[in-house]
Structure 1
Amino acid sequence: MFTPNQISYQEQPGFTRTFKADHLSLGLFFPIEAFDGDRPTMKNQVTLAKRAESLGFSALWFRDVPLRDPNFGDVGQIFDLWVYLGFIAAQTEKIALGTASAILPIRNPLHTAKAATSVDQLSGGRLLLGVASGDRPIEFPAFGVNPDNLEVQFREYLRVFREAQKGQFSDISWEDGNLHHADLIPKPTTSEIPFFVTGNSRQSLDWIAENSHGWINYPRQPLLQKLIVEDWKAAVNKHCGDVFKPFTQSLYIDMTENPNTAPFPIHLGFRLGRNDLIELLEHLQSISVNHVILNLKYCKRPAAEVIEEIGEFVLPKFKMN
């Protein structure tokens, strides 16, 4: 059951539910709620997650925020990334489960691999692994990480993570570890868990295009985002030919009851009505953005109302099948 699998990561159920060339799908960030400050209530999250799955959202996304930094203003879904992934995996059946993003340098890469392959197996191949080098300075001394070495450590830990899940009793050495005469189990449901670098993670675009399975980025003005996607596609083509490597972005929304509210900029997104949300998403699809993760933190309406409206009026325009 847990020997290395030769099925391509592109056939993984989470990947096929979420990504398709020349198409855009929608996901949701946890917490699925609006809240002030940095601490959500985390109420009704299972009910909302199940409803998002039934409405046709492609993925649910989880944050990796182990410590509360009062200067950062955001603690994600509060609960540990891997514990909460396992909890939600047990409450859902088909929706993809993504990390945006697992911070590689703060854990032994074998711990990350063990957790990720466990979630992938227990969820039936639904894990999409966003990875990052970390951007919260308070975390590095707390976990004994040298911030001056993050560029190299990110690449090294990612290499260990990939080799451990793909091989069988492989000898793997890195700066602060050595795997010898032992094997990581379980193995993932496909040849490896699809992984996506978030932002630059202190790497070059060429390196990300060559080594990752896709790129998770941030919302920008549409014209600028178009240029960034074009650069991404060119870099992928340069290093990998016609291999499909999806481009994902986040987007904060405050969707009003009036469907015709014109867009007004908010932090990393817009206050707008559903008609302009549809227009914005159609534009993003036209420039080859493949997945948009919606964040409801700044909504003035209950999250349940917002996802129902998106499910009825927006999602049908972006069906995956």
Structure 2
Amino acid sequence: MSTSLEKLTKGGLSIGIELPLDNDWSPAGDARRQRDGRRHGVPDVESHAELAQLADTLGFRALWVRDVPLYDPSFGDAAQVFETFSYLGYLAGITRNILLGTAAVVLPLREPLLTLKSAASIQTLSRERLLLGVASGDRPVEYPLFGRKYESRGANFREQIALLNNRAQGYLPPGIEVLPRLRSPLPLFVAGLAQQQAEWLGKHMDGCLAYPGTPADHLRRVAEWRAVAGAKPYVSFFHLDLAENPDEPLQRHRFGARAGRHALIGELEALRRAGVDHIALHFRRNRRPLDEAFSEIASEILPHFNPDMMELAAQSGLN
């Protein structure tokens, strides 16, 4: 059986989706949010299950969920609302092939043994589809509410990585263990630097979750990552507004761009040349219905980067 790391990078640049699955940051979506009485940053999850299943059927490589324990209106983003591991368990049950990633679990806010048990449960229930993105966190308001020290998050992060990598061996009394037993090590991706030295991350982590940026930004960042981590995967995110006109040129906005599919292929090609291994598309700015955008990308863009998708597209009646 292939590992989730192997599946992520198979065939070159792969394309996934970052949740939540709504388009509340488009003009129409924001008007709908206000009409529904939802606070800014709280997504519409009405169709999340159907869209997650569609992404799986269409051949997107991964679904990524964020870890936002508490909604802070001053930050203004509740992510996908649901608790990360609980939600991944649900997604594992309604999908078959798509990888399931966290971007990223804030380790210092969590009890280490329960984090290991949660991750092992998802890895087992999903049949080895977990990609465990982890971070030290960046919202000082959360730490005292969880009884944690913000200033200690870097040291706490290192301790928890050691426990996860060792699967708690040496941390428990004889005869005591965390179940279910993992068949292989957890694939650990770091978001940012997590208060660590780059060399330490390159040695102890299996991949990198990078902040959104332009191809030029990623060219520099990939070089820095490769210098300490070699060929370990480099992942990033892109906020997409997919235009109906396939020839509409790319217009950059914060964290991404509006573009027709031809310009989007050009941008993704540039990211591939920069060394990006996986890009997760974020659709909250997308003005078109998400099922429509997913289907166009699956039929016209995924096969461009992974020829194996041509057969899936034909089977799905997308061409």
- Fold agreement, TM-score > 0.5: yes
Contact 1:125 1:188 in 2 (8 A): no
Cα distance, 1:117 vs structure 2: 0.2
Structure 1 unaligned runs (5+)? 1-6, 173-178, 238-243
Give the match's secondary structure for 1:90.
helix
**Relative to structure 1, is the Cα distance of residues 311 and 87 closer, same or farther in structure 2, using a 3 angstrom cutoff?**
same
For 2:178, the equivalent position in structure 1 comes to: 184
If asked which structure has higher relative contact order (CA below 8 Å, sep 6+), I would say 1
Q: Give unpaired runs (5+ residues) of structure 2.
A: 25-29, 31-39, 309-319
In structure 2, C-alpha distance between the alignment counterparts of 1:82 and 1:27, rounded to whole Å = 19
SS in 1 for 2:45: coil
In structure 1, the residue matched to 2:197 is: 204
Alpha-carbon distance in 1 for matches of 2:206, 2:284: 28
- Give the TM-score of the pair, scaled to structure 1: 0.88
Is the Cα–Cα contact under 8 Å of residues 244 and 260 in structure 2 kept in the other structure?
A: yes
Alignment of 1:30-69 (within 5 A): 30-35=19-24, 36=30, 37-69=40-72
- Deviation string, structure 1 residues 273-293 (Cα, Å, up to 9, x no partner): 111111010111112100001
- Select which of 193, 217, 226 maps to 1:224: 217
Q: CA deviation at 1:320?
A: 7.1
Q: Tell me how far apart the structure 2 counterparts of residues 157 and 104 of structure 1 sit (CA, whole Å).
A: 7
Aligned ranges for residues 88-103 of structure 1 at < 5 Å? 88-103=91-106
Write out per-residue CA displacement over residues 183-238 of structure 1, whole angstroms, 9 at most, x where no aligned residue: 11112232x1111001111112211111100101012222221011112112224x
Q: Distance in 2 between matches of 1:248 and 1:102?
A: 16
3-state SS of the aligned residue for 2:196? coil
User: 1:305 & 1:20 partners in 2: Cα distance?
Assistant: 26
Counterpart residue number, 2:287:
300
Q: Given the two structures, how large is their TM-score scaled by the length of structure 2?
A: 0.88
| 110-119 or 227-236: bigger deviation | 227-236
Structure 2 CA distance, aligned partners of 1:20 and 1:246? 11
The residue number in structure 1 matching 2:14 is 25
- Partner residue, 1:271: 258
% identical equivalent positions? 37
- Is 1:258 the counterpart of 2:245? The answer is yes
AA in 2 matched with 1:31 = P
CA distance in 1: counterparts of 2:157 and 2:265, whole angstroms: 37
Deviation for aligned residue 1:114: 0.2
Aligned to 2:36: none
CA distance in 2, matches of 1:138, 1:257: 41
Aligned equivalent of 2:140, options 132, 137, 142: 137
User: Could you say what the CA RMSD is over the residues aligned between the two structures, in angstroms?
Assistant: 1.5
